Amino acid sequence: MTDVLQLWADSFPALLRGFWVSLQVTGVSLVLGIPLGLLLALCVQSRRRAVNLPALLVVEIGRGAPLLVLLQFVYFGLPNTGLTLSGFASAAAAFAWCTGAYTSEIIRGGLEAVPHGQREAAEALGFVRHDALWYVIVPQGLRVAIPALLGFSILMLQASSLCYAIALPELLSKAYQQGLTTFRYMPILLLAAALYAAVCIPATMVVGVLERRMGRHEKN
């Protein structure tokens, strides 16, 4: 047991650096992807085919293709077109695409959950369609979507381990490097799993609390 604890102590700094990269990839993908999801949700709801169809295409590809395929398409495929991105930029682009596609459906569900009476009240107050959307519908729809968006954020943090496929030095990559050095994969992978759990379990509990509180608010 003592040698395992020593192994963890020696490996922890490297794994922590990798975990920081995982958090960065997740954070950038959410910062870029959630606004993209809102834009796609609004475009999908548009009655104009020129707006609706391209948005649907982006959403369906982002949701239909595995994230690993999107990641390798950006990292290995785009250089064939003359556009080469770094490992981190490739991960951020692929994850933002996936995030935008999935959150667009979450946000669209939130927008559609806003009672129709809110739209009628906005019209009665003299709001034009654009103002009613941004000042009445979108804020309420996003509030409904918050628990689901937070839950999806946890999944994206876990999915950041896929960046190992493009040699980005995130947590799983660092764990494998430590395993290659010591030939003791099990303790290292257990430590990596503990780092994920240290963030994901409390975050999941917070999402559960938010869902219950919002459920009680909706009933009232």
Kindly state the tokens that stand for 104: 């667009």
Share of the chain above pLDDT 90, in %: 63
Q: What is the DSSP string of 139-208?
A: HHHHHHHHHHHHHHHHHHHHHGGGGGGGT--SHHHHHHHHHHHHS-HHHHHHHHHHHHHHHHHHHHHHHH
What pLDDT is recorded for position 119?
76
pTM of the model: 0.89
Kindly state the tokens that stand for 25: 């990839």
The CATH number assigned to the domain holding 208 equals: 1.10.3720.10
What pLDDT is recorded for position 220?
53
* Lowest model confidence (mean pLDDT) among 74-83, 137-146, 209-218: 209-218
Q: Over the chain, what is the mean pLDDT?
A: 89
Range of the domain at 51: 2-219
Task: Specify the number of domains making up the chain.
Answer: 1
